Amino acid sequence: MPRALAAALLLLLAGAATALLLARAGRDEGTPAVAPPPAASPTAAPSAAAAPVPAPEAMTDAALREAADSVLAALATRNGAALATHVHPQGLRVSPSAFVDRETDVLLSPAEVARMFEDPRPRRWGFAEGSGDPIDLSAAAYVAQHVPAAEALAQRRVTLDGTAWQSNTFNNIAQVYPGARVVEYLVEADGDPELADFRRRAIRLVFREAEGAPRLVGLVADGWSP
């Protein structure tokens, strides 16, 4: 092939290649850029559940004292129907000593409380501290011997959520009734002051809230045991 013809052919091929490159570049510039997918919007955190509305405050000191006085008045007059109106729906546990015994202490429903003073039959209320003798008495006799309600109302030595005096028996009310409120009535006996500790008695009424009012769950009689 003549040298001149070869040179012309090379120039023609170079021009064609340049035109092809320019055309491709133009297409690339005219192509709209593909937008990246939009970022997912953050998921909104679920709103916190509304706090429960607290129950009405029914366990004020004034409400507690009023309920406790009514309970003692019902005990002093042996009025089971009146006493039952203050008893918690889950029942009333009667404890003959400062140590509340879930196994042996009597648990009465409100209906049983309403009728208990009408029943002359003896019931085993537990065992005496010290001697261990069974306490087999009718409800009326038990209250007369172990719960000096009339004296407590007359003397009015009242302590809320505490104790003004402790016998020689361990007081486990806080463990058996956590969160409950306690009204203690201290009963002083006449006689030799040196023997006061041995003759002193305490009635502890244990309340929990139910039905919008203080309701009695525990009746604890405390006294010095031999």
Q: Are 204 and 218 in contact (CB under 8 A)?
A: yes
Q: Are 95 and 76 in contact (CB under 8 A)?
A: no
Q: Are 167 and 98 in contact (CB under 8 A)?
A: yes
Cα dihedral sign, 87-99-104-225: negative
Mean pLDDT (the chain, rounded): 81
Phi, psi (5° rounding) for residue 190? -70, 160
pLDDT single digits (tens) 121-130: 999 999 987 7
CA-nearest of 124, 128, 146 to 136 is 124
pTM of the model: 0.73
Query: Cα–chain-centroid distance for residue 90?
Result: 15
Q: What is the pLDDT of residue 42?
A: 41
Q: Per-residue pLDDT for 200 more than 90?
A: no
For the chain, domain boundaries: 61-223
Query: Cα–chain-centroid distance for residue 153?
Result: 30
Phi, psi (5° rounding) for residue 206? -105, 125
pLDDT single digits (tens) 14-54: 454 454 444 454 444 444 444 444 444 444 344 344 444 34
Give me the CATH code for the 61-223 domain, please.
Answer: 3.10.450
CB-neighbour burial class of residue 33 (10 A; exposed 0-12, middle 13-18, buried 19+): exposed
Q: What is the pLDDT of residue 15?
A: 54
